[in-house]
A and B are shown apart, each in its own frame.
Chain A
Amino acid sequence: MIHSLFLINCSGDIFLEKHWKSVVSQSVCDYFFEAQEKAADVENVPPVISTPHHYLISIYRDKLFFVSVIQTEVPPLFVIEFLHRVADTFQDYFGDSNVGDTLPTGQLSNIPWRRAGVKYTNNEAYFDVVEEIDAIIDKSGSTVFAEIQGVIDACIKLSGMPDLSLSFMNPRLLDDVSFHPCIRFKRWESERVLSFIPPDGNFRLISYRVSSQNLVAIPVYVKHSISFKENSSCGRFDVTIGPKQNMGKTIEGITVTVHMPKVVLNMNLTPTQGGYTFDPVTKVLTWDVGKITPQKLPSLKGLVNLQSGAPKPEENPSLNIQFKIQQLAISGLKVNRLDMYGEKYKPFKGVKYVTKAGKFQVRT
């Protein structure tokens, strides 16, 4: 199992170490730093690194590296999952400030995920159905790949030991699902009902994937023309965004980010809506569009200044699109009802839907 854990920040300081067995010297992290140097970008550091006497399995979260030292054969996914859980716990505990307000306490109960003796004055159960569209759209606008990654996050503040049943209008949509351990698998298999005694507080009830291509509606389209002239130090940039299959809802929170080629020095653009920034160091163009009004489609046009004398860039940048649609689960998933057994009070119930762009890429 995990022998030791090191936490390393972006500037390479090892600011926390924990040893479950004997102490392993910090110098083992040198192998990690070496790999980090080679990777150039922090996100590209390989998660499993071998050293003469150990293996280093690491994750990168919130600008921190969690580096674990392994000495025996272990399932790496076990370690990576565990590290993410450690990171989750830190995030929960520390939040934005340095130290949280309460030291966590635990209490024994028959159900490992729920403590006994929970009490609330207002009993509430909220479910957020959040769907993210991952898609790759090719130059001509047709969909190369698209799928929906959905989750149902719950915030449950119910007293005692409530036993909940959540049913859907169209459970057939859910054929590839991952469950929180509290869900009774048998009930789902036989009746397609989510039956569970929930953990207390915030947790992820299920995550699911809908991938059949024709089922995935693409809510936006992008018209683009990015061109660089041969033997000239400039190019043209022209991007327009419009609504496609948006089920009559407003598309908002649109952001377009583009990693421009290295030879791009600067960009002189005019947005019809929203504002844009171009970072000449990272070469990242960010256009904060806002929402789409179909009467006047937002566009961003202008000139691209290239390093003079440099050859015309070979690669065409991809556009990364972010957006959000409130009150819509794009897969069509709908909650039918929520019933509670085992407790007498009447809880307050609520379901919210939202659709967002996940890894939504448009090739140019």
Chain B
Amino acid sequence: MTDSKYFTTTKKGEIFELKAELNSDKKEKKKEAVKKVIASMTVGKDVSALFPDVVNCMQTDNLELKKLVYLYLMNYAKSQPDMAIMAVNTFVKDCEDPNPLIRALAVRTMGCIRVDKITEYLCEPLRKCLKDEDPYVRKTAAVCVAKLHDINAQLVEDQGFLDTLKDLISDSNPMVVANAVAALSEIAESHPSSNLLDLNPQSINKLLTALNECTEWGQIFILDCLANYTPKDDREAQSICERVTPRLSHANSAVVLSAVKVLMKFMEMLSKDLDYYGTLLKKLAPPLVTLLSAEPELQYVALRNINLIVQKRPEILKHEMKVFFVKYNDPIYVKLEKLDIMIRLASQANIAQVLAELKEYATEVDVDFVRKAVRAIGRCAIKVEQSAERCVSTLLDLIQTKVNYVVQEAIVVIKDIFRKYPNKYESVIATLCENLDSLDEPEARAAMIWIVGEYAERIDNADELLESFLEGFHDESTQVQLQLLTAIVKLFLKKPTETQELVQQVLSLATQDSDNPDLRDRGYIYWRLLSTDPVAAKEVVLAEKPLISEETDLIEPTLLDELICYIGTLASVYHKPPSAFVEGGRVSGPPLAASSVQMGAVDLLGGGLDSLIGDTSFGPPPAAAVPARLGAPTSSGLSDLFDLTSGVGTLSGFYVAPKAVWLPAMKAKGLEISGTFTRQVGSISMDLQLTNKALQVMTDFAIQFNRNSFGLAPAAPLQVHAPLSPNQTVEISLPLNTVGSVMKMEPLNNLQVAVKNNIDVFYFSTLYPLHILFVEDGKMDRQMFLATWKDIPNENETQFQIRDCPLNAEAASSRLQSSNIFTVAKRNVEGQDMLYQSLKLTNGIWVLAELRVQPGSPSLTLSLKCRAPEVSQHVYQAYETILKN
């Protein structure tokens, strides 16, 4: 007998008939009827009217029938909450059934019924099931805790289920362990600050044992959990690696990738001289390659991760170039990723093969792919010097095809090749100029204009060419306009006699007829420069440019290290840290545009401070030099005002620490830096004092911050108006903002700074007082305060003593207020003054405080509550600093 027949009845009065059958005395008939009901429900008919009759069938010892009734309940309980209560008793009874299958089924179903009234009744049975003698019931109950947490988090915490769940990590059964880890991971997602999965060597051992025996899905959770653990030494790291390695041979690709993550992370701790280190490297290649023969969707995610892995440890896949060769029927998203990895793996040893492939791809049909292949050829030229010549000739061949988009891409990359290998391939300029008319994309036009300007002295009709572009100046995109302006100024400086008229024309177009501020400002700068000192103009505009390297498209090392820890997650697919797109475990909006990442990708340690402003791969005038000498075009009026006040000191009573020496002269070739931090009318600044204790003049100052906990970053370049002579001191106020890249630092308020001058790049780190981050609108409404105070769990509360501070409540309150700590309410309890205060950090974290002032006692008691308790210590320090000064 088959079950398909249930789906075929179409009789009239069906509900009525079903009702009668459900209430039949015969067991078989009842079961048939429930099956018919489920079939109707499945195809979308409304059979909710049968709710009481179906629930009546629940009391049966037939497992199949029970399952069907439960299925019905899960579907209709939400729409019939009052009736669902009728089923509660049976659930509670089923949770004590002698058959473990029924116990588990009951607790599982109750977790799936998202009706508030029911969840209350769920607690007792759930508590029993979590301690059930049968592992199948315990493992089901573990997941049920996570489900319940999603419906009512408070209830789960109040009932102590989280602790029970933590205990289950040491359960004797691997499936239970795996599900407990899964449930805790899921709960931790919505509680990012909580320490739910606190691991120690014992629990790690439990997890590793469970890893071998639990289901594939459980293995993923366990591996991801292991990856968050920090082994105490290299021996522990090795022993964990040894036990994780067999997972690389698992058929489930998610298990494989999670294992790769653990290994990549722990490898960091192993010494490279170790034999084991080499063995591990060899073991990583085959599973990664195997991922590429899976379904295309899996391949895509694998490739995004391999992209990170080859940047971190190129040696793993250096012999596997061929598996990344593109097949013509790969989906486009796979093709593009493969191409990226091919370039990362390109080396002198395999470049001939790679180029042959790329040339093949450049004749394919898909436009996006062809474009990327052409670009890839250019990147190869830049990466592998020996291949540059062959790459250029390949690009010229491609230009000969006259396929419009191929020509344009080729010109864009040839421009980069010129930058990388000056005075080598300029002979091809003539060929490029032939294609001038066919360029219709801004990037290609801009590239061509750059080439004409840069090599104006070698191109006879450079002025004619540029003039032809000038005709439609206002219809061009900004990119092209800026480039045209620069190119004509270059041309003028090289051939001043014939081009005076042209340069006048472009300067007036840029400054008078344009409403684009960037264009206008650049126009004015050139104009002033040319009119005041043509020699200086020549030095600035025609200065030698730093060479570009392939590094430009590599991920910045600290970000890369962070992303390696997120292998296999969404972060690894987007190549952005989770903080960039996941807020408090919730996805918020699409990832930032690519440009902001590139900002973050500027490398503090790569010595690439020249790249601070502008994109190095493109050639605006020597950008680093201009703002340093002419003042920062980006600084706003506000921060200029601020310059005036900063020397005067504190206007509003905000406490500013005296300047301390951050970088002693002996560590920085004679440059001494001392400084402090202030906050005025909503803007933060870093007040610096630079002293030249060397014997030579210092120029070309620039500053950069490493990523830090609150995203502090300079809001304007460092302005040192004149060269700093020996023994001279200059005071500078550097405006800061908090929109930089975020990375949690240890300690939290640690800031790593790089300062550059004409001599070298220097690094130092300093701690900033947290109160510079207290914002002006940090006063919380009273009701809100009460509710929030209650809502934050008690374990997040920390208490501190502030000794030797004989202030009364009034004085303390007003002093704190000038540093943006606001008193929300005041109460007198048994002679003590209680101040309830709130403050908000620039990243939106609220801190609530209770400050107890006892008349006659020099000590104050401070209780802090915050959802991110790690800031409490620093807030306490801020309190102490403010109150005592």
Contacts and interface: CB of A to CB of B under 8 A. Distances in A.
Interface of A: 1, 21-22, 39, 43-44, 46-48, 50-55, 58-60, 70-78, 80-82, 84, 97-103, 105, 108, 112, 134, 136, 138, 144-145, 147, 149, 175-181, 185, 189, 204, 206-207, 209, 211, 259, 261-262, 314-316, 318, 320, 359, 361, 363
B254 interface: yes
Contact of A185 (B100, B246, B293): B246
6 contacts: A50-B574, A50-B581, A70-B570, A73-B585, A99-B7, A178-B287
| Most interface-central of B220, B297, B357, B588 (chain A CB within 10 A) | B297
Contacts of B322: 144-145
B690 interface: no
Given A81-B252, A82-B217, A181-B215, 11 more contacts: A39-B332, A44-B331, A46-B300, A47-B333, A50-B574, A53-B589, A73-B582, A84-B295, A101-B3, A102-B2, A259-B328
A310 to B, nearest CB: 14
B250 interface: yes
Contacts of A180: 251
B697 interface: no
7 closest residue pairs by CB, A with B: A176-B286, A77-B254, A47-B297, A101-B2, A78-B254, A99-B4, A50-B590
Nearest to A82: B217
A199 to B, nearest CB: 12
Interface string B543-577: 00000000000000000000000001111011000
Contacts of B290: 176, 178, 207, 209
Q: How many B residues are at the interface, by size bracket?
A: 35 or more
A51 B215 CA distance: 32
A48 B573 contact: yes
B289 interface: yes
Contacts of A211: 289, 323
A43 B403 CA distance: 26
A76 B150 CA distance: 21
Contacts of A363: 360
A314 B101 contact: no
A113 B588 CA distance: 39
B328 A318 contact: yes
Contacts of A207: 251, 290
Interface of B: 2-4, 7, 64, 100-101, 114, 136, 150, 175, 186, 189-190, 212, 215-217, 220, 224, 246, 249-254, 256-258, 286-287, 289-290, 293, 295-298, 300-302, 322-323, 325, 327-329, 331-333, 357, 360, 363-365, 401, 403, 568-571, 573-574, 578, 581-582, 585-591
A359 B327 contact: yes
B100 A108 contact: yes
A191 B675 CA distance: 67
Contact of B300 (A47, A175, A185, A314): A47
Contacts of B586: 71-72
Contact of A77 (B100, B212, B253, B328): B253
A207 to B, nearest CB: 7
B163 to A, nearest CB: 23
A81 B582 contact: no
Contact of B301 (A21, A22, A77, A361): A77
Contacts of A22: 114
Contacts of A43: 296, 331
| Most interface-central of A71, A262, A314, A316 (chain B CB within 10 A) | A314
A178 B569 contact: no
Contacts of B293: 134, 149, 209
B101 A108 contact: yes
Given A55-B587, A176-B290, A75 B363 contact: no
A83 B120 CA distance: 33
A224 to B, nearest CB: 15
A144 B590 CA distance: 40
A178 B294 CA distance: 12
Given A102-B3, A108-B136, A76 B251 contact: no
A73 B574 CA distance: 12
A73 B323 contact: no
A59 B297 contact: yes
A212 to B, nearest CB: 11
B360 A72 contact: no
A49 B586 CA distance: 16
A179 B64 CA distance: 33
Contacts of B220: 75, 78
Contact of A181 (B216, B325, B360): B216
B587 A71 contact: yes
A72 B585 contact: yes
Contacts of A134: 293, 327
Contacts of A189: 246
Contacts of B328: 259, 318, 361
A48 B581 CA distance: 14
B587 A178 contact: no
Given A47-B297, A59-B297, A145-B325, A75 B257 contact: yes
Contacts of A136: 325, 327
A74 to B, nearest CB: 7
A179 B251 contact: yes
A283 B254 CA distance: 38
| Most interface-central of B573, B581, B588 (chain A CB within 10 A) | B573
Contacts of B300: 46-48
A148 B250 CA distance: 19
Contacts of B175: 112
Contacts of B590: 50-52
Nearest to B336: A46
A52 B253 CA distance: 28
A84 B364 CA distance: 31
A204 B254 CA distance: 17
Contacts of B568: 75-77
